[in-house]
Structure 1
Amino acid sequence: MPFPLPSRAAPGPRRRTLFASAAGAVLLVGCSGDPGGSGGRGASAEERARAGAARDSERLVARYDAVGAAHPGLVARLRPLRAEAVRHAKAFGGSVPATGSPSAPDSATSPPSATDAPSGSSSGAPAARGTVPAVPADPVAALAALADAEKTLADRRTAALAGLPGETARLLASVAAAGAAHAYLLTTWKPKPDTGSDSGASGGEKRG
């Protein structure tokens, strides 16, 4: 008696699924309540957490702008991820332009240092949005550095969840999950090292 063959599952997460997961973080923005619902010291801690998260997202937007300025061929691929970072910053009360007018940093083609990763601490010191790490000259390395920044920030945001009020914790957790998805996507893109153009930017989804 023949048995039905089990359906074959995809070996890994699909890009469309990851984009949908990342976009889902934005849906929580409209559902998040007024942080003033907690009283006294709790409210102050929540406000500090939101302000720190907004600064972190603003800094991340600046990194996307710097990479796009140094490697114009990557702009089309990075645009949706940058837009997500903008929405995350606004969800936490930050303010960044919807469309960047990036200018490459003075040392845009210098290799990154060990301290280039942005701080993910929700209570870290403010950082100027225009101060960004140097962008590697190799577009593959530039994407890798951006992926590392997204992953580092996502990990630190996850670690900062303990002790936060419910609504803020849920929003921060969702944004952290989106950042982890962004990091994965950035590691799967393979631009041409000689031109900086994205081999998949104009061809749409070519892989299943």
Structure 2
Amino acid sequence: MPYPPPSRALPGPRRRTLLASAAGTALLAGCSSAPGDPDGGTSGSPSLAERARARAARDSEGLVGRYDAVLAAHPALERLLVPLRAEAVRHVEAFGGGASGASASPSPSPSPSGPGSPSPSASAPAVPTDERDALAELAAAERTLADQRAKALLEMPGELARLLASVAAAGAAHAFLLTEGAR
């Protein structure tokens, strides 16, 4: 019996490979402790950890605002964006935020922010009128925030480092999915 022809392979890494490597790297980095820290990184400065949690919550709230803005400008993208936005809301909650209005459903008056600083108080450019451009900007915001969190986790105590690693890996996956959605 003849074998069927191989399926058409798309250029670039496979989604499964990308997600597995991002998650593996994040888990390894989150589980390591600083040299000379016998208790695995749990004796870090509480004020440093508290500030990092608060910033991470604000950053995630800003990302939720960006999702809201894109959803308001491009309702046709709802199927792709609503699950990713819901994850960003869960990230806000995981970092102890949520009091400033990040809710599970998109708000009618979004407050987006720039891709380099996803905080809700930053003034934001308008959402691009082209859906692909809007998705590309949202992917850039996710990627930038994931990179910032991946760098910050190296200086955090154990549990917070693991949380940052997990959320950074999720952000990298979101960026990938948004980039794929823009194609």
TM interval, short-chain normalised: 0.7 to 0.9
**Any conservation in 2 of the 1:65–1:100 contact (CA below 8 Å)?**
yes
Pick aligned residue for 1:128 from 121, 125, 137? 121
1:150 counterpart SS class:
helix
The residue number in structure 2 matching 1:151 is 143
d(CA) in 1 for partners of 2:182, 2:57: 30
Instruction: Decide whether aligned partners of structure 1 residues 71 and 104 sit closer, same or farther in structure 2, where only a CA change above 3 A counts.
Output: farther
- 1:172 correspondence with 2:172: no
> TM-score if structure 2 supplies the norm length?
0.72
What runs of 5+ residues in structure 2 fail to find an aligned partner?
1-6, 27-41
Shift in alpha-carbon separation, 1:185–1:161, aligned structure 2, 3 A: same
The one-letter code of the counterpart of 2:83 is: P
Contact 2:65 2:110 in 1 (8 A): no
Secondary structure in structure 2 of the residue aligned to 1:160? helix
The yes-or-no answer on 1:78 pairing with 2:81 is yes
Q: Is the 8 A contact 1:54 1:94 kept in 2?
A: yes
Native 8 Å contact 1:60 1:85 kept in 2:
yes
CA distance in 2, matches of 1:85, 1:190: 19
Report the RMSD for the aligned CA atoms in angstroms: 3.1
d(CA) in 1 for partners of 2:116 and 2:126? 12
Distance (Å, rounded) in 2 between the aligned partners of 1:46 and 1:148: 26
The structure with the greater share of residues assigned to helix is 2
Tell me, in whole angstroms, the C-alpha distance in 2 between the residues paired with 1:133 and 1:140: 16
- Seq. identity, %: 60
2:114 aligned partner, one-letter code: D
**Aligned pair 1:117/2:120, yes or no?**
no
CA contact (8 A) 2:53 2:95 kept: yes
1:133 is displaced (CA, Å) by 3.3
- Deviation of 1:118 after TM superposition, in Å, equals 3.8
Aligned to 2:175, what secondary structure does the other structure show? helix
In structure 1, list runs of 5 or more residues that go unmatched: 1-7, 26-36, 109-114, 121-125, 192-208
Counterpart secondary structure, 2:105: coil
Query: Number of residues paired by the alignment?
Result: 152
